[in-house]
Chain A
Amino acid sequence: MSTTTIILVVGVLVVLAAVYISWRAGRLDRLHIRLELARESLDAALVRRAAVCLELAGSRILDPATSLVLAAAAHEARTAGPDEREHAESDLSNTLRAVIDQERFHERMAESPDGKALWDELHAAVAKVLYSRRFYNNSVGVTRTAQRRWLARTLRLAGRTEYPKFFEIDDVPPQAMAAE
């Protein structure tokens, strides 16, 4: 084998490796973008749920004790720092179940036109928290696997991106909303 052939083979291998690496890096980058979008949509869903809860609490449809319990939980969820967020959002899910799974709650709300609209909005907000969290955690799972790959770790393809964390909360919806 001549020197030229060796150089050629090595050159082809280098090119192939470079193409492969950049393809992996590009994939990781796309995963990161998807993860970020999923995170944003989860954030939006959580903020939206808290906002609807606050509106319901202030709507005079409920008795003041229920309003206060709901408003307190929604407020905690909305203002929680990153470390307390999962806890506060779980608390809000918990409170929502206690509030909505009262006897004849849906009927009471449906009696007023505002109540009907709020019920629908809340129902949608609760469902979207459930969906967006599922999608976000999926995205976290895939990104984690990609980041843990030997090549990604050795060549630091993830750059300075943090190792993504799952968002673990209790988001079981109230029975009245799950059954529909």
Chain B
Amino acid sequence: MTAMGRTMRIGIVCPYTWEVPGGVQAHIRDLAEALARDGHQVWVMAPAAEDADLPPYVTSAGRAVPVPYNGSVARLAFGFLSAARVRRWIKEGAFDVLHVHEPAVPSVGLLACWVARGPIVATFHASYRRSRAMSVAGPMLQSALEKITGRIAVSDAARKTLVEHVGGDAVLIPNGVTVGRYEQAEPLPGWGPGGGVIGFLGRMDEPRKGLPVLLEAFALLAAKRPDVRLLIAGPGDEDEVYEQVPAEYRDRVGVLGLVSEEDKIRAYHSVDVFCAPNLGGESFGIVLTEAMSAGAPILASDIPAFRRVLGDGQAGVLFPTGDARALARAADELLDDPERRAKLAVEARQAVLKYDWSTVARDVVRVYETVVGEVPVLVEDERAEDGAR
């Protein structure tokens, strides 16, 4: 008998402190909520402070301790106490499947692999180098990692490191976007669609994000269109950006710097055209999918990742990568054509559903279904006996 189509009891293990913002934590929260919406029963175990305000589905694995690891200080939960808590949680949860995140990080994920037996799925997020430390602790790490039945990588980079360093392969399931979170927002004060606003979001000082190309195009465009304005958000040095804009157009450029999640969403709703001038290297255009969820008409460079997300130009206009003149020309045409922009926005909202968490969660459930058996996840009985009660 298979688990096909029925709802499952799912235990998800998060290696990093729950209440601290981070990519892995956000991924797990969005996944857990999407799974719950589909009727599954989901529990999460994560390190957390004693007084942390946790959602009802999260159980604390104890406090994470800051330790130097891989060149920076990481907050990790390890040790007998955390191991005991993970054991108890797994024993009481009787999960159909255990979903461990970042099992090679020395935290709760690795502990869960160590103490559990049965259907285990693991998701690898980061790309990491194999350290000698791993080969020293190797036998133990290896035996814990070998228990994983299904592996997921969130990006090509993560998959590549996995293949190279741990061996074996993984299926690729990228991060999802919670489309609903971006659908509605008030434009930022002083900005808004209808005023010839072009938007950019990303690191301003990272050349691969392509801001210099956009600035060059903006200078061309500003000479021709007195109404066009530029809204820039993202970390980096403001003055450096202004230096690249001719003095007479500087008052038409707004640089917000690093913005809050809320203001980011409002920024997507403040533009007539959202521009992603990246020069390459994006394995998955997360910013692009967010802007698409907000229904912003997209103008993006023609790199493979963007071409794929935009359905070969169906859901957004593509211009030759790095070509400021082509960018200026395409933006000029788009700003003149409100009907085209409206059509692109509709197409974008449709195309982005493929990347919505509900779709991604269903892919993850298919992985669960391939590894699940009739017996739930159990705890190992030999060694690692329940220590701290």
Complex Cα distance A73/B133, Å? 8
Contact A66 B79 (CB under 8 A): yes
Chain A residue, CB-CB nearest to B78: A65
Shortest Cβ distance from B379 into chain A, in angstroms?
A: 14
Q: Are the C-beta atoms of A58 and B68 separated by less than 8 Å?
A: no
Considering the chains assembled together, what is the distance between the CA atoms of A75 and B80 in angstroms?
A: 23
User: Bound state CA distance, A64 and B78, in angstroms?
Assistant: 8
CA A74 to CA B111, docked complex, whole Å = 21
> B111 contacts which of A60, A65, A108 (Cβ < 8 Å)?
A65
Contact of A71 among B81, B108, B137 (CB under 8 A): B137
CA distance A79 to B132 in the complex (A): 10
Give per-residue flags for B116-151: 1 if the beta carbon is below 8 A from chain A beta carbons, else 0. 000000000000000111101101110010000000
Do the beta carbons of B67 and A58 come within 8 Å of each other? no
The answer to whether B34 has its CB under 8 Å from any CB of chain A is no
Q: Does A180 contact B (CB under 8 A)?
A: no
Q: Which residues of B contact A54 (CB under 8 A)?
A: 136
Cβ-based interface call for B387 (8 A) = yes
The answer, yes or no, to whether A46 is at the interface (CB within 8 Å) is no
**B388 and A66: CB pair below 8 A?**
no
Q: In this assembly, does B233 line the interface, its C-beta being within 8 Å of a C-beta of chain A? A: no
Q: Residue-by-residue, is B179-190 near A (CB-CB < 8 Å gives 1, otherwise 0)?
A: 000000000000
> Which residues of chain B in 97-120 are interfacial with respect to chain A, using CB atoms and an 8 Å cutoff?
106-108, 110-111, 114
Please tell me the number of chain A residues within 8 Å of chain B, measured between CB atoms: 28
**Using Cβ atoms and an 8 Å threshold, which residues of chain B touch A60?**
139-140
A91 within 8 A of partner (CB): yes
User: B76: CB under 8 A from chain A?
Assistant: yes
Would you call B70 an interface residue if the criterion is a C-beta within 8 Å of the partner chain's C-beta atoms?
yes
A63 and B62 CA atoms in complex are apart in Å by 15
A116 CB, min distance to chain B CBs, angstroms? 17
Segment 205-229 of B: residues with Cβ below 8 Å from A: none
User: A98 at the A/B interface (Cβ < 8 Å)?
Assistant: yes
Task: Identify the closest chain A residue to B136 (Cβ).
Answer: A71
Interface class of chain A by DSSP? helix
> Does chain B have a CB within 8 A of A38?
no
Contact B136 A64 (CB under 8 A): no
Q: What distance in Å separates the Cβ of A64 from its nearest Cβ neighbour in chain B?
A: 4
Set of chain B residues within 8 Å of A41, measured between Cβ atoms:
none
Within 8 Å CB of B78, what residues of A?
63, 65-66, 68-69, 99
Which positions 48-83 of chain B face chain A at CB distance < 8 Å? 65-70, 76-83
Q: Is the Cβ of A65 less than 8 Å from the Cβ of B67?
A: no
Contacting pair A104 B67 (CB below 8 A): no
CA distance A91 to B71 in the complex (A): 10
Instruction: Judge whether B68 and A108 touch: CB under 8 Å.
Output: no
* Beta-carbon contact of A63 and B80 below 8 Å: yes
Question: Does A83 count as interface, using CB distance less than 8 angstroms?
Answer: no
CB distance from A102 to the nearest CB of B (A): 4
Q: Is the CB of B387 within 8 A of A66?
A: no
Query: Whole-angstrom distance from the CB of A61 to the nearest CB of chain B?
Result: 10
A67 to chain B: closest residue by CB? B137
In the assembled complex, the Cα of A157 lies from the Cα of B380 at a distance in Å of 68
- In whole angstroms, what is the CA distance A102 to B64 when docked? 12
Interface residue? B287 (CB, 8 A): no
Listed residue (A68, A69, A73, A79) with the most chain B CB atoms within 10 angstroms of its CB: A68
Q: Which residues of B contact A69 (CB under 8 A)?
A: 67, 69, 76, 78, 106
Interface check B384, CB cutoff 8 A? yes
- Closest Cβ of chain B: how far from A12's Cβ, in Å? 63
Mark interface residues in B135-170 (1 if CB within 8 Å of A CB, else 0). 011011100100000000000000000000000000
Give chain A residues whose Cβ lies under 8 Å from the Cβ of B144. 64
Contacting B at CB under 8 A, from A84-115, are 91, 94-95, 98-99, 102-105, 108
Residue of B nearest to A99 (CB): B79
Residue-wise interface mask of A (116-144) relative to B, using a CB-CB cutoff of 8 A (1 in contact, 0 not): 00000000000000000000000000000
Q: Complex: how many Å from CA A143 to CA B83?
A: 51
- A65-B131 contact given A98-B67, A104-B388, CB 8 Å threshold: no
Q: How far is the CA of A15 from the CA of B184 in the complex (A)?
A: 96
Whether B81 and A58, one on each chain, are in contact in the complex, defined by CB atoms closer than 8 angstroms, is no
Binding site for A on B (CB under 8 A): 65-70, 76-83, 106-108, 110-111, 114, 131-134, 136-137, 139-141, 144, 384, 387-388
11 contacts between A and B (CB under 8 A): A54-B136, A57-B137, A60-B140, A64-B111, A68-B78, A68-B137, A69-B67, A71-B136, A75-B131, A102-B79, A103-B80
- 4 more A-B contacts (CB under 8 A) besides A63-B79, A66-B78, A71-B137? A60-B140, A67-B141, A73-B67, A103-B388
- Per CB-CB distance, the 8 closest pairs between chain A and chain B, nearest first, are A65-B78, A72-B133, A68-B106, A91-B68, A65-B106, A71-B133, A71-B136, A67-B137
